Amino acid sequence: MKIINCPLNGPRNASEFVYGGEVKQMPDPAACSDREWAEYVFYHYNGTGEVREWWLHAPSGYWFIVERHRVTGEISRTYDPSELDQGEFFASVPGAAEEINS
Amino acid sequence: MPFSLLKYGLNNDYPFEKDADLPPPVPLKSHYDVVIIGGGGHGVATAYYLAKYHGITNVAILEKGYLGGGNTARNTAVIRSNYLTSEGVKFYAESVKLYQELSNEFDFNIMYSRRGQLTLAHTDSAIRAFRQRTEVNKHFGGKTELIGPQEIRELVPTLNMNPGHLPVLAGLWHMDGATARHDAVAWGYAKGATQRGAELHQLTEVTGIKTENGKVVGVKTNRGDVGCGVAVQAVSGHSSLLAEMAGFRLPIVTYPLQAMVTQPVKPFLNPLVSSPAYHCYVQQTGRGEIVIGGGSDPYPLYGTRSDLNLKEGLLAHAIELFPFMANLKLMRQWAGITDMTSDYSPIMGLSPVENYYLDAGWGTWGFKSTPICGKTMAELVASGGKVPDLIKPFAMDRFDTFRQVNEMGATAASH
Ligand SMILES: Cc1cc2nc3c(=O)[nH]c(=O)nc-3n(C[C@H](O)[C@H](O)[C@H](O)COP(=O)(O)OP(=O)(O)OC[C@H]3O[C@@H](n4cnc5c(N)ncnc54)[C@H](O)[C@@H]3O)c2cc1C
């Protein structure tokens, strides 16, 4: 079986993991336009390069970041979300960055 | 020996069809009225109906590989119309009607075989959802009934009615459910289109879309540039990549979908059987092989590899439903890449680029719609961009206005 390297639990069977979508910036739902919200919810990266993605290690409930190639499927890096620059994807939601830290 | 048999035996014309083959390749012209990108079932059907009903034959179908070698050759050929929304049911029912006449129309056997599809309910909530689908289907003239365990046993005596923790409680019995030979569908449309004057260019990959003032004017290919008045993209799993060439994005994510087939056995299963709870569907082909399909891969990928993870899970479920299959050997396995939308309905009609039309978002369920897609896309092209009523609900901008056509419950793992 394919093995994914979990930053918390080490190498585990792929069947223990759940794909959680691309890492992207969430607009402020209270302030953004319908078009911006649609962009966030429905329009995802669907190219042929490498993407940063959220993945969950289901047995331990741990979310982390995977850098994965969309054609070869190869995973080049996995790491804890604290390594992300949180401004990158929570910038416009007041209070969100603090929430994830607590 | 009857005389007529002898006559046929000595006759050069029989039983061969005179125009059995596609015309030989021709050079690409510098300009066509219509360029169709993608020579799958949808692309060639569009060319066919353009020629047949609208007299538009200065048409080139550009296919990067070979005719019907994409998802048209990879699907499990389920044809049905028992969807959930009225928009969906109306649309798919039209397609089923067209399919029923297709062998006659082509004078070529697409091996259409109507044997009914049985979807299993293993929970009370599934029964409730099936009730709703039954009523919507009947309302639009479909033949669908909710049936109980006794009738299921009679239809499928080999089915395990008590698999694991999910007993079979009821079934959605869709009498219009059918299959057809998918290659033959592509061949029939391609022959009909080329005989009427359209050109099919295989091994011709579109590598760029040329626009001027927001309007499509041509495409770049590995065989040179081609001008066009109108372009239609029908490239299934590659939809986002073509749209990107044309300069816009689609609310689509590409996932692999896998299927497999066992060695042939004696006929034991007439209906197509599907279990959404087990993410699994099983059907027997005319040759006796058992086709097994299921849900998409659990993460996006542009890859047609077939992997062990999915196979193990899917086969475990198939064997729960039909325990005797545990003794069979797998013969083939494969995957296609599918263009998934979040509401499990297609994206058809206009795009942000003028005269550039979309037939996309067909995901895991677009074989059954091949005839009606061809017909409605041809109408769209011939009318100069007037969107036919039947496909209006599938417009791309429904995502910006949050007016999705939610077919999730009616699509997952039953195609
Ligand atoms: C395993 C599997 C099972 C399925 N089961 C069912 C089922 O039971 N019932 C059902 O209704 N649907 C099913 N589907 C879905 C169905 O197969 C597709 O939705 C349908 O075949 C799409 O037809 P199409 O003509 O649009 O695409 P395709 O047949 O994929 O044709 C698109 C063509 O475009 C070409 N192309 C791509 N990029 C370019 C380019 N740049 N230039 C030129 N050409 C290009 C490709 O080579 C391809 O031949 C299944 C799919 C899979 C993978």
Q: Which of B21-25, B221-225, B274-278, B387-391 has the lowest mean pLDDT?
A: B21-25
> In whole angstroms, what is the distance from residue B335 CA to residue B308 CA?
12
Confidence of residue B10 (pLDDT cuts 50, 70, 90): confident
* Domains: count for chain B: 1
> In whole angstroms, what is the distance from residue A72 CA to residue A69 CA?
6
Confidence of residue A89 (pLDDT cuts 50, 70, 90): low
CB contact under 8 A, A71 and B302: yes
Q: What is the mean pLDDT of residues B10-31?
A: 78
pLDDT in tens, B368-407: 999 999 999 999 999 999 999 999 999 999 999 999 999 9
Q: Which residue type does B307 have? A: D
pLDDT in tens, B317-367: 999 999 999 999 999 999 999 999 999 999 999 999 999 999 999 999 999
**Residue nearest atom 13 in ligand 1 by C-alpha distance:** B365
Q: What is the mean pLDDT of residues A61-83?
A: 96
Is B162 inside any structural domain? Answer: yes
Q: What is the DSSP letter of A14?
A: G
Ligand 1 centroid – CA B75 distance (Å): 8
Is B75 inside any structural domain? Answer: no
Q: What's the CATH number where B277 sits?
A: 3.30.9.10
User: What pLDDT shows up at residue B123?
Assistant: 95
Is B259 inside any structural domain? Answer: yes
Q: Which atom of ligand 1 is nearest to the CA of B367?
A: 11
pLDDT exceeds cutoff 80 at B134: yes
User: What pLDDT shows up at residue B15?
Assistant: 57
User: What pLDDT shows up at residue B156?
Assistant: 98
What contacts B235, CB < 8 A, 6 or more positions away? B37, B38, B40, B70, B241, B242, B360
Compute the CA torsion angle B182, B186, B188, B194 (nearest 10 deg): -170
Two tokens at B168? 């079979």
**Exposure of B282 in the CB half-sphere (CA atoms within 13 A):** 24
Q: What is the mean pLDDT of residues B151-170?
A: 95
User: What pLDDT shows up at residue A100?
Assistant: 42
pLDDT exceeds cutoff 50 at A99: no
CB contact under 8 A, B402 and A38: yes
pLDDT in tens, B161-217: 999 889 999 999 999 999 999 999 999 999 999 999 999 999 999 999 999 999 999
Which domain range does residue B302 map to?
113-177+254-340
Ligand 1 centroid – CA B43 distance (Å): 10
Q: What's the CATH number where A55 sits?
A: 3.30.2270.10
SS3 B176: coil
SS3 B385: coil
Which domain range does residue A27 map to?
3-101
User: What pLDDT shows up at residue B408?
Assistant: 82
Q: How many CB pairs under 8 A join A and B?
A: 54
pLDDT exceeds cutoff 80 at B234: yes
Please give, rounded to a whole number of angstroms, the shortest distance from the CA of A42 to a CA of chain B.
5
* Domains: count for chain A: 1
User: What pLDDT shows up at residue A5?
Assistant: 98
- Which residues on chain A are in Cβ contact (under 8 Å) with B401? 34
Compute the CA torsion angle B100, B101, B103, B105 (nearest 10 deg): -160
Is B105 inside any structural domain? Answer: no
Q: What is the DSSP letter of B19?
A: T
Q: Nearest to residue B238, comparing CAs of B228, B248, B253?
A: B253
Name beta bridge partners: B300. Answer: none
Q: Which atom of ligand 1 is nearest to the CA of B370?
A: 23
Is B6 inside any structural domain? Answer: no
**pTM of the entire structure?**
0.94
Is B146 inside any structural domain? Answer: yes
Q: Which of A18, A46, A73 is the closest to B253 by Cβ? A: A46
3-state DSSP of B300-346: CCCCCCCCHHHHHHHHHHHHHHCHHHHHCCEEEEEEEEEEECCCCCC
